[in-house]
Amino acid sequence: MQPLKIFNVIPKLPEGLEELWKLAYNFRFTWCGHTDNVFKQIDQQLWATTSHNPLLFLQQVDPQRLKTVASDPFFQSQLKITVDTLKEYFEERPSPIIEEASPENPVVAYFSFEFGIASCMPIYSGGLGILAGDHLKSASDLNIPLVGVGLLYKHGYYHQYLTPDGWQQESYPDLDFNQIPILPMEDENGKQIQIAIPLGRRKLRAQIWKAQVGRITLLLMDTEMAENRPEHRAITASLYGGDKEMRLWQEILLGIGGMKVLEVCGYHPKVIHMNEGHSAFAGVERIRSYMQKGLSFESASEIVASSSIFTTHTPVPAGNDRFSPELMEKYFREYARDLGLAFKVFLSFGRENPFDDQEEFCMTVLALKLSRFNNGVSKLHKHVSRKMWKSLWPLYPHDDIPISALTNGIHAPTWTADDMREVYDRYLGTNWREDPDCKTIWSRAANISDAELWRTHERLRARLVDFARHRLRKQLQAYGARKQDIQNADEILNPQALTIGFARRFATYKRANLIMREKDRLLRLFKDVDRPIQFVFAGKAHPADSEGKKYIKEVVSTCRSLDYRFHMVFLEDYDIDIAKYMLGGCDIWLNTPRRPYEACGTSGMKAIFNGVLTFSTLDGWWDEAFIPDNSIGWAIGKGEEYSDPDYQDYVELRTLFNVLEFEIIPEFYDRGRGGLPRQWIHRMKKALTTLGPEFNSHRMVMDYVRKAYKPAYDNYNNLARYDFQPARELAEWRNDIMTKWGGIDLRNANIEIMDETFVGESIRISVDVKLNGIPCDSISTEAYFGQVQQNGEFASRNIRKLTPIGDTDPEGWQHFEGKVSPTKPGRFGYTIRIIPTNPLLIDPRSLGLIRWAVPQETS
């Protein structure tokens, strides 16, 4: 029988405890130790079994217990401190770099397909989501006027469990939004705000929820509404579920719906940050909205691109969504008309080759074209991305492709284990939590007592071992293992042994099963009873990735076999909670990606803040963090790239085992006075002092603010002045340049040198340019000058602008001159290029126009 109506009964909190609601409805509990403690003090067990979900906790806690703590003066004082801290948190930080803004009036909207904020809101699958969560947390701490936009998936990302033979199974939780600390976003009449957008011929509705992450509001859309067709209700059913069309719907909802959400909620951000290409339709929708204010497509595009930021995350081609022209047509034919574009022209915004009618529409391409600040997520990834997308800027050399690097970071207070936080509070001062990007603070790590650091670390390792045993027992029970095996679970792992952790998505390029390719050698290490080592694994494979699942099966069956099972364990259902246990308690954080597929990787950064040392191939962040003297961790190889994967496995596996056996293990067991591994502890501290200030999300968010948000905000204001007049002018100018550019010509390119010249000597360069009616100040004529490699390519280059000399002659030729001087000895070369320039133009490369001198134009 169906109930007539379903409603929620909310527990009544005893007098004096009402403030608990306030604590529960702010995700700051994920990084504020006080709040965590308050819930722990009420009922530690329940806090754990509710997976640190404060709302579920308050719904389930025994009322009697609440009465007891309500009358406990100690608890009351703890609660007061916690509530006051939250209040102070909101007041404390002087406001942002961007004036006129506040959290209620955000300047930046941050779009992401996933957000990993707390394990009780499982709307993340891995690094991308965790990064987005950490971005919001740091933006909150730093008081950056930012609002988040995302989707609220009814079934979240899946729970993983394994069959007895280790094959991954997925089960989808049914999230009750009344049991997650989020609230409906309501209008002034108390009604939940909704949006409606066209989806093909239908109307798609979504209702809006609000998650409070410290100061930051995160707006989440949910389509499970009676008014929607059943298949549309499923749009927010699960993260990365469904087919291509479903993905397209989700991305339409995120981008186009997301812009609508901001509008109906009264937010008017001037800057849009697209975290990965999923949200790139936001750019198109913004263009449409400016066109409704009377701007042309071109002027609207100038505004939108100049104030958009796009972060690309994946060097794996399959990670970049592409949709067939037919599918696009179903949903964007009308839309293109609204934009005043032929459908084919619309499609060209998502194509590498605008003239290829077969090419699919790629979200990454769209994002790159609609944003003037594009970045990869590590220095290495910048180069990889430039190579990947160079076809969008065919006339530009690698160094000039407009994709920069802004390396990821992690939210230090979230990812530092409780016990370690306390050590830092004492030795570094509590402001490491607010200012983790400050070098001076981390330099104090040198003063931490070796014994205390080590004891804390060992306690965390013991806790991980306990946790692993407990989890393993539950896993074994769940699939009806033999009693003996379940009992054995209490004896796996050794709280004193060197513990190596590997936990991440089981994408095949990460090679989770690498060490299992050398079982003999592994067994030999396991047999050394004086210097025991052990491994803890965790990770999910994408539901459709059967190769990834095979890797899991291989790892799991090894872990379960007789010779290995006391030394190796696989923990099911990797999530934020498991990550915290592992990153607290391991000694070594192992990573084996095939370079260069790891765009950045962030779990190793979390490890640093817990004194866990990285051991990894030189890929992603580790390629820029690693110091070759091994003083902060170890590398596998020297950053080689291989064309034969089997050979690569062979070489890197040998290196891995050699470093492990001859460097890592001996040093871990090199115990001096007090049983302390001094050298090891020294590395822990050095990693903290060197990498701590760098690889945290405060540094990352501040980098975004300085390099991207603030300039984008200024760009917007600049172009939007006088009712968008500059934007209109810029669009006209662009049109003019585009039509005349082809007629530009060069002659008499000349450099005044002999075959040899001295360092520091200044050399005159000159050229004549036929302007073809383009005003002289609309172009920049530049000497492109630098050292040349054996193959004739530039190894480095300097750009020197040449100055127009005299008047343009009657035929339209203009003479340009300038000087360069080589600062180093070596083989040098020069060439000349012309690019368009305009003070309103953020980046001349966006026109795709460039004219290089060719040999016959020299004199």
* Number of other CB atoms surrounding residue 254 within 10 Å: 26
Q: Are 853 and 831 in contact (CB under 8 A)?
A: yes
814-853 mask for ligand PLP (x: CB under 6 A)?
----------------------------------------
Considering the complex, state which of residue 504 and residue 560 has its C-beta at the smaller distance from ligand PLP: 504
The answer to the question of residue 603 lying near ligand PLP (CB under 6 A) is yes
CA-to-CA distance for 637 and 579, rounded, in angstroms?
26
Question: What φ, ψ does residue 436 adopt, rounded to 5°?
Answer: -65, -10
| Residue 9 exposed, middle or buried by CB count within 10 Å (0-12, 13-18, 19+) | exposed
Residues 414-473 that bind ligand PLP (CB under 6 A): none
Considering the complex, state which of residue 606 and residue 845 has its C-beta at the smaller distance from ligand PLP: 606
CA-to-CA distance for 332 and 334, rounded, in angstroms?
5
Considering the complex, state which of residue 543 and residue 601 has its C-beta at the smaller distance from ligand PLP: 601
The answer to the question of residue 596 lying near ligand PLP (CB under 6 A) is no
The answer to the question of residue 407 lying near ligand PLP (CB under 6 A) is no
The answer to the question of residue 127 lying near ligand PLP (CB under 6 A) is yes
- Give me the count of residues in the chain: 859
Q: Which stretch binds ligand PLP (CB under 6 A): 47-55, 125-133, 286-294, 721-729?
A: 125-133
User: Which tokens is 274 given?
Assistant: 């697209």
User: Which tokens is 359 given?
Assistant: 């090419």
CA-to-CA distance for 588 and 607, rounded, in angstroms?
9
Q: Which residue's structure tokens are 């108390």?
A: 190
For the CB of residue 130, give the shortest distance to ligand PLP in the complex, in Å: 4
Considering the complex, state which of residue 285 and residue 694 has its C-beta at the smaller distance from ligand PLP: 694
Angle separating helix axes 576-585 and 450-478, nearest 10 degrees: 140
For the CB of residue 104, give the shortest distance to ligand PLP in the complex, in Å: 30
DSSP-based helix, strand, coil % in the chain, nearest 5: 45, 20, 35
Of the candidate residues 576, 688, 691, 730, the single one contacting ligand PLP (CB under 6 A)? 576
H or E element: which one contains 852? Answer: strand 851-852
The answer to the question of residue 575 lying near ligand PLP (CB under 6 A) is yes
The answer to the question of residue 126 lying near ligand PLP (CB under 6 A) is yes
Q: Which stretch binds ligand PLP (CB under 6 A): 123-131, 542-550, 609-617, 720-728?
A: 123-131
Q: Which stretch binds ligand PLP (CB under 6 A): 99-107, 176-184, 456-464, 572-580?
A: 572-580
Q: Which of 131, 129, 134, 184 is nearest to 27 (CA)?
A: 134
The residue count for binding ligand PLP (CB under 6 A) is: 12
3-class SS letters over 710-762: HHHHHHHHHHHHHHHHHHHHHHHHHHHHHHHHHHCEEEEEEECCCCCCCCCCC
For the CB of residue 603, give the shortest distance to ligand PLP in the complex, in Å: 3
- Please name the amino acid found at residue 71: S
Considering the complex, state which of residue 79 and residue 579 has its C-beta at the smaller distance from ligand PLP: 579
Considering the complex, state which of residue 42 and residue 121 has its C-beta at the smaller distance from ligand PLP: 121
**Residue 706, CA distances (Å) to 144, 402, 520, 710, 714 in order:** 12, 17, 52, 6, 11
3-class SS of residue 515: helix
Considering the complex, state which of residue 445 and residue 578 has its C-beta at the smaller distance from ligand PLP: 578
Considering the complex, state which of residue 257 and residue 315 has its C-beta at the smaller distance from ligand PLP: 315
For the CB of residue 658, give the shortest distance to ligand PLP in the complex, in Å: 24
The answer to the question of residue 602 lying near ligand PLP (CB under 6 A) is yes
Q: Are 598 and 574 in contact (CB under 8 A)?
A: no
Encode burial over 688-725: b for 16+ CB neighbours within 10 A, e otherwise: bbbbbbbbbbbbbbbbbbeebbbbbbbbbebbbeeebe
For the CB of residue 602, give the shortest distance to ligand PLP in the complex, in Å: 4
480-509 mask for ligand PLP (x: CB under 6 A)?
------------------------x-----
For the CB of residue 417, give the shortest distance to ligand PLP in the complex, in Å: 13
For the CB of residue 576, give the shortest distance to ligand PLP in the complex, in Å: 5
The answer to the question of residue 137 lying near ligand PLP (CB under 6 A) is no
For the CB of residue 578, give the shortest distance to ligand PLP in the complex, in Å: 7
CA-to-CA distance for 555 and 516, rounded, in angstroms?
7
Query: What angle is formed at CA 794 by the lines to CA 793 and CA 800, rounded to 5 degrees?
Result: 145
Residues 604-643 that bind ligand PLP (CB under 6 A): 606
CA-to-CA distance for 811 and 743, rounded, in angstroms?
13
Of the candidate residues 130, 139, 144, 656, the single one contacting ligand PLP (CB under 6 A)? 130
Could you give the count of Cα atoms lying within 13 Å of 772 in the half-sphere of its Cβ? 12
For the CB of residue 652, give the shortest distance to ligand PLP in the complex, in Å: 18
Question: What φ, ψ does residue 102 adopt, rounded to 5°?
Answer: -155, 170
Encode burial over 338-359: b for 16+ CB neighbours within 10 A, e otherwise: bbebebeebbbbbbbeeeeeeb
Dihedral sign computed on CA atoms, order 784, 786, 789, 792: positive
CA-to-CA distance for 346 and 283, rounded, in angstroms?
13
The answer to the question of residue 574 lying near ligand PLP (CB under 6 A) is yes
Q: Which residue's structure tokens are 């955000």?
A: 106
Considering the complex, state which of residue 539 and residue 786 has its C-beta at the smaller distance from ligand PLP: 539
Q: Which stretch binds ligand PLP (CB under 6 A): 368-376, 573-581, 695-703, 806-814?
A: 573-581
Q: Which of 624, 480, 486, 566 is nearest to 161 (CA)?
A: 480
Q: Which stretch binds ligand PLP (CB under 6 A): 199-207, 601-609, 748-756, 812-820?
A: 601-609
Q: Which stretch binds ligand PLP (CB under 6 A): 86-94, 126-134, 182-190, 845-853?
A: 126-134
Considering the complex, state which of residue 194 and residue 378 has its C-beta at the smaller distance from ligand PLP: 378
CA-to-CA distance for 312 and 319, rounded, in angstroms?
10
For the CB of residue 127, give the shortest distance to ligand PLP in the complex, in Å: 3
For the CB of residue 235, give the shortest distance to ligand PLP in the complex, in Å: 24
For the CB of residue 419, give the shortest distance to ligand PLP in the complex, in Å: 19
For the CB of residue 622, give the shortest distance to ligand PLP in the complex, in Å: 10
For the CB of residue 407, give the shortest distance to ligand PLP in the complex, in Å: 12
Considering the complex, state which of residue 307 and residue 414 has its C-beta at the smaller distance from ligand PLP: 414
Considering the complex, state which of residue 35 and residue 314 has its C-beta at the smaller distance from ligand PLP: 314
Q: Are 106 and 269 in contact (CB under 8 A)?
A: yes
Q: Are 73 and 79 in contact (CB under 8 A)?
A: no
The answer to the question of residue 413 lying near ligand PLP (CB under 6 A) is no
Query: What angle is formed at CA 96 by the lines to CA 92 and CA 99, rounded to 5 degrees?
Result: 125
Q: Which stretch binds ligand PLP (CB under 6 A): 275-283, 325-333, 602-610, 700-708?
A: 602-610
For the CB of residue 172, give the shortest distance to ligand PLP in the complex, in Å: 17
Considering the complex, state which of residue 321 and residue 619 has its C-beta at the smaller distance from ligand PLP: 619
The answer to the question of residue 307 lying near ligand PLP (CB under 6 A) is no
Considering the complex, state which of residue 98 and residue 406 has its C-beta at the smaller distance from ligand PLP: 406
For the CB of residue 580, give the shortest distance to ligand PLP in the complex, in Å: 8
The answer to the question of residue 601 lying near ligand PLP (CB under 6 A) is yes
Encode burial over 203-232: b for 16+ CB neighbours within 10 A, e otherwise: ebbbbbbbbbbbbbbbbbbbbbeeebeeeb
**Residue 441, CA distances (Å) to 35, 477, 527 in order:** 24, 47, 42
For the CB of residue 331, give the shortest distance to ligand PLP in the complex, in Å: 32
Considering the complex, state which of residue 335 and residue 415 has its C-beta at the smaller distance from ligand PLP: 415
Of the candidate residues 248, 272, 579, 779, the single one contacting ligand PLP (CB under 6 A)? 579
Interacting residues toward ligand PLP by CB under 6 A: 126-127, 130, 504, 574-576, 579, 601-603, 606
